[in-house]
């Protein structure tokens, strides 16, 4: 019978492990006949002198899921190892190594036999149970679905105490964010009879009632409580009607917020009717979820102190805050504030500045003696707090190479309510750019990125060059704008700086694909592709087609559209943004051809029939443009000149009065001056964009007088056309933390257009006019040359009277001039490059006119509404707007008749 004696490791194991899971001293599993026990084995730990033994064999018992060889390797207990008994630490280390894996509830080592200096060992382990399944009780299915990935429990994995604690903490955090306090979670584990050494877990959740914040009270404050409450963005009182009255005779109500009940009790009035006329101007509806979130509450207390500091109360402190439940079970919060004295800036002295004089630095600092003390403003002006608008002292130095510049504001005197400062400047040496490295460009070639950078080796470091380079890379739309990082690495020893640019590629190509059958015309469909990072140089290299040659920053667009025999269209365009590769001179060429035929509908067979004699209109054109970046007034300006030719062929197709057969030619030159400083193309936050363009045809009728009385007055189209577009983007609020890139952005835009004639004896050209209204998608199959001006909340309209808005999709007449004004408040929901999503609220006003005599910039159609935008890499823009035409609204019709849902795909309409 096998004789097994447990190894004596009480002293070591007791210090290392919990009593429940340590190697315990217990009687051998099989004592056998005491008379047959090997004396050497019994006395192995009673030897007076330590003795070396060689491990002859190691076996592992109790393991169900783990390989024995793996466990002996982890224990570092291998055949041939030498062990000293007594006095060696091999056994304690082996137990420690296995225990650290967190896979076992008990680890023991046995000596099973000793033969001379050879020793035989058994490692006995007890594996922790594994999780078979887990379920939630006491919560809804949707809540359970939300919690499943959060609790960190995985079926088939070993269950540890840490797993249990983490699951409970995740549940409590989840419900705390939803306003529940005192959530209790009990874990029940039952052995799974179907799976060896496995348990099923049930998490019993007791949520209790959702706690809402009833009232927030401030004491010790002279700053109005309403102002302090506004700073608490994440901690709000319950929704209620409140009164913000003027000061009463005693002046005690001024600036305070009261419920109706409190106000009536204070003023002595007995009923709402008696005070309605008095209260109407001061009633406010306070809307909020009133959830209590411990984390947000702590942040809000810091915001209160920051607000106090901005008012000059630099010693302000929250002495205490008390939370208690009222009779309805909702939470009241009492915040006791100690404001301290209000301070002001005193004298400001400068020390250590040699590059710029005191007066220059003081002018940029912009703080005068007697201004309210505000540490945040001081740090922002010194450049310690980065500001996107710039204008700080650190930026002044860093734009001249002083990367190692430092400025420290030191309080030199505090007297009464005034604080004097000395600003100690350490300019340091001017830093020179050394190495400019680029990483992360898996698809885009390095020269495409380098030509956009303003950081050139050997030149002085300038912070403005870093900011501008970041913008230029974002404008390419090849990279995730949120992940463009300059990686500035200063080398103070030699006065140089390395810039390690890192980018993250994103897909910018677009695919348009649709197909259908019906309408009595057969198969219809659209196939369009746009490659925004194309490489025409590698088009003949077989290895570059993966699946297409890319990386040179060129743009290739191909689109085919068919509507059976009724309509077909081809469009091809190519753009080289850096013609010649040395300067930002863009070159674009485009070709298109479109034809539309009028068929005859066969009601018997329910289909259209087409013959060679059908009436049709065919539009063909070609355009070539050359753009040049300007240096004056600044290098945000560019000038684009384009030559365009469009040919219209008509057969029995009356598009304009007196013109249904023949050919019309439109040859024009267009000159566009534009300036764009927006920070990124998809969701701009800052910057502006302007465009002023003039489009001119030759004045044929002035050169040849006979053109006025020609049988076909449109054989050679003549006009001069002017456009102006302006857009501004302004961020609102101060985002922070993980949400630093998510903030409201206000977009304002103005658009003007006018088309005129050279000869008063001719009508203004029917081509190149302006269609105003709807979503901006209708252009008669792109057959007629006119600009589409969207106006949400209205159908396409033909009159200048804002009250006349028939419900129509197209127009037979087009305006010769228009105005449009837009305001949008945008908020990003997702800035992920794979799906950029933002919502918006808009106000829009626009109108069109047929002559300057009728022009009235204040006679506009107005609309308001909400919208969503989705930018998907392969499909471009997908947008929805719900607009209400304010001038379509009639008291009897309601909002339904004034509202209009619009949809956009592929591009943002004008």
Give dist(CA 559, CA 557) in Å, integer: 7
170: Cβ contacts below 8 Å, ≥ 6 apart: 147, 150, 151, 152
Q: In what order do the strands lie in the sheet with 406-415?
A: 344-351, 418-426, 406-415
Nearest to 790 by CA among 778, 806, 774, 807: 774
Is residue 637 a contact partner of residue 630, using CB atoms and an 8 Å limit? yes
Summarize pLDDT for 506-548 with one digit per residue, the tens.
888 887 776 766 555 566 777 888 888 999 888 888 887 877 8
pTM: 0.67
Instruction: List the helix and strand counts (H, then E) for the chain.
Output: 17, 40
* Whole-number Å distance between alpha carbons of 223 and 316: 12
CA distances from 906 to 529, 709, 725, 903 (A): 11, 43, 20, 10
pLDDT of 115: 81
Do residues 520 and 606 touch, judged by C-beta distance below 8 A? yes
773 and 862 Cβ atoms separated by less than 8 Å: no
Extract the residue ranges of the chain whose pLDDT is less than 70.
1-43, 45-46, 87, 239-289, 386-390, 514, 516-523, 601-607, 656-658, 734-741, 776-783, 809-810, 874, 893-894, 906-907, 909
d(C-alpha 68, C-alpha 56), whole Å = 16
Q: Determine the pLDDT at residue 41.
A: 59
> Based on C-alpha coordinates, what's the Rg of the chain?
39
Task: Note the pLDDT of residue 305.
Answer: 93
Residue 36: the pLDDT is 33
CA dist., res. 307 & res. 339, Å (int)? 11
Contact 782, 619 (CB under 8 A): yes
Q: Please tell me whether residue 142 adopts helix, strand or coil conformation.
A: helix
Predicted confidence at residue 35, as pLDDT, reads 31
Residue 602 phi/psi, 5° resolution? Answer: -95, 100
Residue 94: strand, helix, or coil: helix
d(CA 297, CA 300): 5
Residue 373 burial by Cβ neighbours in a 10 Å radius (0-12, 13-18, 19+): buried
Q: How far is CA 867 from its chain centroid?
A: 17
Query: Exposure of 690 by Cβ count < 10 A (0-12 exposed, 13-18 middle, 19+ buried)?
Result: middle
Distance of CA 624 to the CA centre of its chain: 37
Token pair belonging to 201: 């877990």
């Amino acid at each position: 019978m096998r004789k097994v004696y447990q190894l004596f490791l009480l002293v070591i194991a007791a210090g290392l492990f919990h009593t429940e899971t340590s190697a315990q001293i217990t009687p051998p599993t099989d004592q056998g006949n005491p008379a047959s026990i090997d004396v050497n084995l019994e006395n192995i730990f009673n030897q007076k002198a330590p003795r070396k033994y060689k491990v002859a064999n190691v076996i592992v018992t109790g393991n169900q899921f783990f390989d024995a060889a793996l466990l002996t390797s982890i224990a570092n207990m291998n055949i041939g190892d030498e062990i000293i008994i007594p006095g060696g630490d091999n056994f304690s280390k082996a137990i420690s190594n296995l225990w650290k894996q967190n896979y076992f509830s008990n680890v023991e080592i046995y000596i099973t036999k000793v033969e001379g200096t050879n020793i035989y060992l058994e490692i006995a382990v007890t594996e922790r149970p594994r999780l078979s399944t887990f379920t939630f009780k006491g919560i809804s299915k949707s809540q359970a679905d939300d919690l499943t990935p959060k609790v960190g429990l995985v079926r088939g994995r070993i269950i540890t105490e840490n797993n249990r604690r983490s699951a409970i903490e995740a549940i409590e955090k989840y419900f705390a964010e939803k306003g529940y306090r005192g959530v209790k979670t009990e874990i029940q584990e039952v052995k799974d009879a179907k799976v060896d050494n496995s348990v099923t877990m049930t998490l019993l959740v007791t949520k209790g009632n959702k706690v809402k914040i009833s009232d927030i009270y401030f004491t010790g404050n002279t700053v109005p409580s309403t102002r302090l409450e506004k700073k608490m963005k994440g901690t709000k009182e319950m929704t209620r009607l409140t009164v913000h009255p003027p000061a009463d005779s005693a002046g005690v109500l001024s600036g305070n917020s009261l419920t109706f009940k409190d106000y009536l009790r204070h003023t002595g009035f007995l009923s709402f009717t008696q005070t309605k006329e008095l209260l109407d101007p001061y009633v406010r509806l306070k809307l909020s979820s009133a959830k209590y979130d411990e984390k947000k509450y702590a942040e809000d207390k810091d915001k209160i102190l920051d607000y106090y500091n901005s008012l000059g109360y630099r010693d302000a402190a929250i002495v205490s805050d008390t939370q208690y439940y009222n009779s309805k079970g909702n939470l009241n919060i009492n915040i006791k504030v100690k404001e301290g004295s209000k301070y002001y800036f005193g004298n400001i002295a400068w020390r250590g500045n040699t590059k710029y004089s005191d007066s220059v630095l003081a002018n940029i600092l912009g703080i005068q003696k007697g201004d309210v003390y505000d540490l945040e403003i001081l740090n922002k002006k010194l450049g310690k707090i980065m500001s996107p608008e710039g204008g700080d002292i650190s930026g002044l130095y860093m734009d001249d190479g002083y990367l190692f510049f430092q400025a420290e504001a030191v309080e030199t005197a505090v007297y009464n309510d005034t604080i004097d400062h000395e600003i100690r400047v350490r300019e340091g040496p001017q830093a020179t750019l050394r190495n400019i490295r680029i990483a992360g460009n898996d698809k885009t070639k390095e020269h495409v990125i380098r030509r956009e950078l303003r950081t050139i080796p050997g030149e002085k470091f300038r912070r403005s060059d870093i900011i501008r380079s970041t913008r230029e890379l974002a404008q390419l739309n090849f990279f995730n704008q949120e992940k463009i990082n300059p990686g500035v690495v200063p080398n103070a020893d030699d006065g140089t700086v390395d810039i390690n640019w890192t980018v993250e590629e994103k897909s910018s190509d677009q695919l348009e694909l649709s197909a259908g059958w019906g309408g009595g015309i057969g198969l219809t469909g659209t196939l369009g592709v746009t490659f925004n990072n194309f490489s025409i140089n590698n088009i003949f290299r077989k290895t570059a087609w993966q699946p297409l040659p890319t990386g040179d920053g060129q743009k290739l667009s191909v689109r085919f559209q068919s509507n059976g025999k009724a309509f077909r269209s081809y469009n091809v365009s190519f753009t080289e943004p850096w013609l010649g590769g040395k300067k930002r001179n863009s070159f674009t060429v485009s070709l298109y051809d479109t034809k539309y035929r009028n068929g005859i509908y066969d009601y018997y067979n329910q289909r259209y029939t087409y013959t060679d004699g059908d009436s049709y209109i065919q539009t063909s054109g070609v355009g070539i443009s050359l753009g040049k970046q300007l240096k004056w007034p600044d290098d945000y300006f560019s000038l684009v000149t384009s030559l365009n030719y469009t040919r219209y062929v008509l057969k029995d197709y009356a598009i304009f009065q007196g013109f249904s057969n023949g050919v019309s030619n439109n040859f024009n030159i267009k000159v566009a001056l534009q300036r764009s400083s927006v920070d990124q193309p998809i969701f701009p936050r800052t910057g502006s964009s302007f465009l002023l363009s003039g489009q001119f045809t030759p004045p044929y009728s002035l050169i040849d007088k006979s053109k006025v009385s020609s049988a076909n007055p449109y054989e050679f189209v003549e006009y001069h056309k002017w456009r102006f577009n302006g857009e501004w983007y302004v961020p609102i609020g101060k985002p922070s933390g993980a949400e630093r890139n998510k903030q409201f952005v206000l977009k304002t835009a103005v658009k003007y257009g006018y088309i005129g004639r050279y000869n008063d004896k001719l009508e203004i050209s029917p081509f190149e006019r302006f269609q105003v209204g709807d979503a901006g998608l209708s252009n008669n199959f792109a057959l007629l040359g006119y600009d589409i001006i969207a106006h949400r909340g209205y159908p396409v309209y033909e009159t200048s009277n804002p009250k006349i808005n028939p419900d129509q999709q197209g127009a037979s007449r087009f305006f010769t001039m228009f105005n449009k004004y837009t305001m949008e408040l945008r908020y990003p929901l997702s800035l992920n490059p794979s799906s950029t999503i933002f919502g918006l609220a808009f106000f829009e006003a626009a109108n069109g006119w047929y002559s300057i005599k009728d022009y009235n910039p204040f006679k506009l159609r107005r609309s308001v509404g909400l919208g969503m935008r989705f930018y998907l890499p392969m499909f471009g823009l997908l947008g929805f707007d719900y607009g209400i035409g304010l001038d379509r609204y009639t008291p009897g019709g309601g909002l339904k008749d004034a509202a209009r849902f619009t949809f956009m795909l592929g591009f943002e309409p004008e």
